[in-house]
Structure 1
Amino acid sequence: MHKSALPQEGTETFQDQIRIVLVETSHSGNIGAVARAMKNMGLGNLWLVRPASFPDEASYARAAGAADVLDHARVVSSLEEALADCVLVMGTSARGRKVPWPVCAPPEAAVAAADHAGSGPVALVFGRENSGLTNDELQRCHYHIHIPSNPDYSSLNLAMAVQVMCYELRMHYLRSLEDGQASPYLKPMARPGDEGWDVPPARVDEVEGFFGHLEQVLIDVDFHRRENPRQLMTRLRRLFQRARLDQMEINILRGILTAVQKAAGARGNSKSTEAGSTVAGQDNGDV
C-alpha cells in the first residue's frame, strides 16, 4: 500500500505533547490532509477515534510527504481512551451552547496548550466533518476553541481547522525560543540591511549621485526645467527614498539613465547639428 517513512524522533518535546485527536472522520483523505497540516507546523502526534477507513491509499495520497505522521497515528475505539492520560483537553466548536462553557480563540488556546504541555499530554479535539463534536464530547473538554470565521460561511474543512490551530501552536513555540534560534523564522526581511538581504543598502552619497543624474536626464529629455521645477524632484525623491534602494539597484538605475542619455543624444544629433550639452562623466554613470 505504501512505504513507511523513517521513524520520528522519540524525545518528548513541546510538539510531542500536543495530541491532535480526530473523532469519527468519515473521509480518509481528510486524515491525510490533517497529517500534512500537522507536519507543516512541526507536530506529529495524531490520534484517530473510530475513523471510517484508515489506513488506506487515500489518506497516504493526501498526506504527501507526511506519511510518517500517519505511520505513527494511534487508532482507538473511544474518545475516553484518547483523552485518558491528558492534563488538558480543548475541543473545537462553532456552535453556541445553552450552558456557557469556557471559550478561547486559537492564539489563547495555543498559550494554554503550551503552559500545560510540561505537565503531560494536551489534546486538541476535532469532530466529524458534517456535525462536529456532540454535546457530550464537548463537555469532556476543559475549553472550547472557537475559530472566528466568517459568520455567513463559518464551516471550515477539517484540515483547515487543524492547520489554524497548528499554526498558532507553531508561532507560540517559535516565540518561546531564544532570539537567535527564532530569528530565521520570525525576523522579517523587508529592506536592504535586513539579515539575509543580498546587497548592502546604498550610501547617502550614492543616492544623492543618483538624484543628480536623474535630474540631469529629465532636463536632457525636456521633461524638467530647473527654472520652473514645481515639485517634481521633491516627489521623485520621496518615491525613491521610500523604496530604500540598495547599491545594486542604484547601479541599475544609473545605467538606465546613462542609456537614456545616449539614446536621446543620438536622436538629437540626427535631427540637429547643434551639439547637446552633457555633464562630464555621465557616460560612466557619474554626476
Structure 2
Amino acid sequence: MTDPETSPLARIRFVLVETTHTGNIGAVARAMKNMGLRRLHLVSPRQPPDAEAMARASGADDLLAAAEVHPDLVSALAGCRRVIGSSARHRAVAWPLVEPPAAARLLLEEARHGDVALVFGRECSGLSNDELARCQYLAHIPTDPDFSSLNLAAAAQVFAYELRRVWLEQADAAPAAAPRDLAPSEALEGFFAHLDQTLLDIGFADPEQSSKLGRRLRRLFQRAEPDRTELNILRGILSAAQGRKSPGRFARAAAPAPREE
C-alpha cells in the first residue's frame, strides 16, 4: 500500500470559500482527517477558526492549525493542476458535470503528479459564477430534488469518502503514461486575463456584455486542459493579434531569378 503521507491524498486541497460558521470549518476538518486528507485552505472566512471550530473538529485541530488562509480564490488555487467546484445549483452556462465518484477519480488522476483542489462555496449561496469559472468541472451530489440542500460538512464528508475509496482501489496502480506538464491555475488566470484584454483590443467583445462570453471561453479552454507549452503558444497568438509582433518578421527574401544564358 502507498504511504499515506506521500500518496495523492496528500496533494488534494479542500478549499472553503467565505465560510460563515466556524463550526462548519471544524466539521470539515474532521471529515477530512477521517479519510486521510490534510490540506485545508480557507478563502476569506467570516471568522478565523475559534473554540467552536475546535470543538467540531473533534481531534482534527492539527488540520485547523495548519489551514492556509487566502484573501481570494485565485491565490488559494495557485499551483493546482486540476480544480473541481462543488455546487448544488445548475448554471446558465453548462459546465462539465460529474458526481462524487467521478470527481474523486479526476482529482486523484492528477494528484499523482501535483496539487489539485476541490472547492466548496458559501453555506447560503454556494459558489458564484466567477468562482466556478476558475474550475474545470462542476461536481454535484445527486440529492433528492425536493430537499437538495446539504450542510457544508456533510457535502465534504461525501467527497472525502469517495476520494479515500477510490484511492484505496488505485493505491498500487502505476500511472498509465508520463504526466503532461499541465498549466497551473495561476497560469490559466494570466491567459484568461490576456484573452479578455485581447478581445477588447481587437473589437470582438463588448465591454458591457462580455462576462458570459468570457465564461464560455473559459469552459472551452479548461476542457482542453492545455499544458504550459500550449498556453505559451496561445498567448503568443494573442500578442500577435494585439499587434505586439511584427507582421512580416518570418518573411523570407525571394530567391533571385535564374540568369538567362
Same fold per superposition (TM over 0.5): yes
TM, length-normalised to structure 1: 0.58
Q: Which residue is equivalent to 1:56?
A: 50
Taking the aligned partners of 2:93 and 2:46, their CA distance within structure 1 comes to 31
Q: Determine whether 1:163 maps to 2:157.
A: yes
Q: Which residue is equivalent to 1:263?
A: none
Taking the aligned partners of 2:23 and 2:129, their CA distance within structure 1 comes to 26
Q: Which residue is equivalent to 1:174?
A: 168
Q: Determine whether 1:81 maps to 2:49.
A: no
**Cα separation, partners in 2 of 1:83 and 1:177, compared to 1, 3 Å:** closer
Q: Which residue is equivalent to 2:256?
A: none
2:69 maps to a residue whose letter is: V
Taking the aligned partners of 1:48 and 1:125, their CA distance within structure 2 comes to 10
Q: Which has the higher Rg, Structure 1 or Structure 2?
A: 1
Taking the aligned partners of 1:178 and 1:86, their CA distance within structure 2 comes to 23
Answer whether contact 2:26 2:49 (CA < 8 A) is retained. Answer: no
1:40 maps to a residue whose letter is: N
From 6, 9, 13, give the equivalent of 1:19.
13
Taking the aligned partners of 2:91 and 2:121, their CA distance within structure 1 comes to 16
3-state SS, counterpart of residue 150 of structure 1: coil
Q: Which residue is equivalent to 2:145?
A: 151
CA-to-partner distance for each residue in 1:170-226, whole Å, 9 max, x for gaps? 0001112359xxxxxxxxxxxxxxxxxxxxxxxxxxxxxxxxxxxxxxxxxxxxxxx
From 7, 30, 37, give the equivalent of 1:36.
30
Identity score, percent: 56
CA-to-partner distance for each residue in 1:113-167, whole Å, 9 max, x for gaps? 1110022111000000000000100111000001000100000000000000000
CA-to-partner distance for each residue in 1:27-76, whole Å, 9 max, x for gaps? 00000000000011110100000011112111101101111111111011
Taking the aligned partners of 1:95 and 1:55, their CA distance within structure 2 comes to 27
Runs of 4+ in 1 over 4 A off after TM superposition: none
1:83 maps to a residue whose letter is: L
State the Cα RMSD in Å.
1.7
CA-to-partner distance for each residue in 1:70-126, whole Å, 9 max, x for gaps? 111101111000012100000011112211110100000000011100221110000
**Cα separation, partners in 2 of 1:95 and 1:120, compared to 1, 3 Å:** same
**Cα separation, partners in 2 of 1:178 and 1:79, compared to 1, 3 Å:** closer
Q: Which residue is equivalent to 1:115?
A: 109
Unaligned runs of 5+ residues in structure 2 are: 174-261
1:45 maps to a residue whose letter is: R
1:111 maps to a residue whose letter is: R
How many residues align? The count is: 171
Unaligned runs of 5+ residues in structure 1 are: 1-8, 180-287
Q: Which residue is equivalent to 1:141?
A: 135
